[in-house]
Amino acid sequence: MVTRATRYLAPAKLNLFLHINGRRADGYHELQTLFQFIDLADELEIEPTTDTAIQLQGDHCDVAPEQNLIVRAARLLQTQTQTSLGAHITLHKRLPMGGGIGGGSSDAATTLLVLNRLWETNLSIEQLALLGRRLGADVPVFIRGHAAFAEGIGEQLTDAEPDECWYLLLTPPVHVATAFVFNHPELVRNTPKYNLDQLNCIKTTNDCQTIVSKTYPEVAQALQWLVEYAPARMTGTGSCVFAPFVDERQARAALQLCPTQFAAKVCRGVNHSPLHQQLQQLGLL
């Protein structure tokens, strides 16, 4: 059993578009989206222990354990594999909560991937992805570790290779709840379905953007400012907005002009998860 404590990456993602195709009888929504990772990440310090306790400390850890995705992921893996081991986990939070860039889902995926190796429980990526679906629809893409075109409720993944652009990412000072967006009566729910080959020939969008912009003027203001420099869009159902740039220089030039009311970062789109790259370098994947 590996016993060292290491800071493992939990990378963010962008939804390069998000189309809502309909609402199912069980209340979930049919959707199509294109996931790409970016080189911004939370960090999880994970150390295996010889008892079954799951101990979590660090930033934003005041959520009840039964609701915390990190704790739930660790306990789910324990239950599934019947391991007698536990873990001490420290969260170093870098990604905004409610931003739509997948912080909680990515934290859960990193927990599953890393503990599966540290505990030597030896589940396959496919088995871990199926576990991840029980925690959230976005978790499997972080487990699989490749940019993907997603369908269904987000669980049907096809590897994709979008351009690895530079992005300027803005975070308005608001927290948007996913449930609020998907339950809103004015949410567009009838966008036609397309296949992956058609995406380069159509005008994509984020169907949640209008609702969020109307409800949260800070998001509308961020989009209004950013669109002056490049095509701007909201990611997921959260508050973060982004725009692609041809190169890092152009993105950083726009960053220098950004209003101080928005937290802003330049980041790079990557199609291979930074966590998977890290685990491969450590010999854990």
The question of whether 13 is a catalytic residue gets the answer yes
HSE-up of residue 250 (Cα within 13 Å, Cβ side): 13
Q: How far apart are CA 114 and CA 119, in angstroms?
A: 8
Residue with the two structure tokens 């997921």: 236
DSSP per-residue letters across the chain: -----EEEEEEEEEEEEEEEEEE-TTS-EEEEEEEEEEEEEEEEEEEEESSS-EEEEETT--S-TTT-HHHHHHHHHHHHHT---EEEEEEE--SPTTSSS-HHHHHHHHHHHHHHHHTT----HHHHHHHHHTT-TTHHHHHHTB-EEEETTTTEEEE------EEEEEE-S----HHHHHH-TT----PPP--GGGGGGS---BTTHHHHHHH-HHHHHHHHHHTTTS--EE-TTSS-EEEEESSHHHHHHHHTT--TTSEEEEEEEESB-HHHHHHHHTT--
The residue from 107, 138, 207, 265 that is catalytic is 138
The question of whether 138 is a catalytic residue gets the answer yes
The residue from 13, 42, 107, 265 that is catalytic is 13
Q: Structure tokens of 173? A: 């000072």
Helices 103-118 and 125-133, axial angle in degrees (round to 10): 140
42 within 8 A of 67, measured Cβ to Cβ = no
Catalytic (active-site) positions: 13, 138
